[in-house]
Amino acid sequence: GVRAPVVARGLDARGAVEPPPADRTGTVGWYGAGVKPGASGTALLVGDLGAGSRPGAFDRIRSLRPGAAVRVVRDDGSVADFTVDDVKVLTGDRLDVRQASGEPKPGRAELRLIGCGGTVDGASRACAARVVVSAYLTGTGR
């Protein structure tokens, strides 16, 4: 049920994938130096919870369960369909990209959705915990 624009992001000073800009909570960030969704390897997408009356792109990330479908429309208009494999919570305000991306299976296209799963410090935007949703490619099309 999420329809959100995706913007390329880098790593912040702590080595975590930068979330979308604070004034764009309805946007999803993609780790632009990494894998594109649907390509072999692990693509990383990050999203924020909403602020006040503004909804965030990943407001409902905590409700995803194994078997759920995730569809990503790629920049060429094609679609990559993923199936959720695992949902876990990583505690602490520092999220290691390697920890979030896990050990991909060789040749398999995977996706990680990363969102806040705890309280957020308004000034620093640091999150007490992160929800990491792991999914694998199950199909492509138009």
Domain ranges of the chain: 6-141
How far apart are the C-alpha atoms of 90 and 88, rounded to whole Å?
Answer: 7
The predicted model scores a pTM of: 0.84
Q: What is the pLDDT of residue 117?
A: 62
How far apart are the C-alpha atoms of 72 and 37, rounded to whole Å?
Answer: 7
Model confidence at 93: pLDDT above 60: no
Q: What is the pLDDT of residue 140?
A: 93
Model confidence at 118: pLDDT above 70: no
55 CB contacts (<8 Å, ≥6 apart)? 25, 26
Question: 89 φ, ψ to 5°?
Answer: -115, 125
Its CATH class, for the domain covering 6-141, is mainly beta
Model confidence at 51: pLDDT above 70: no
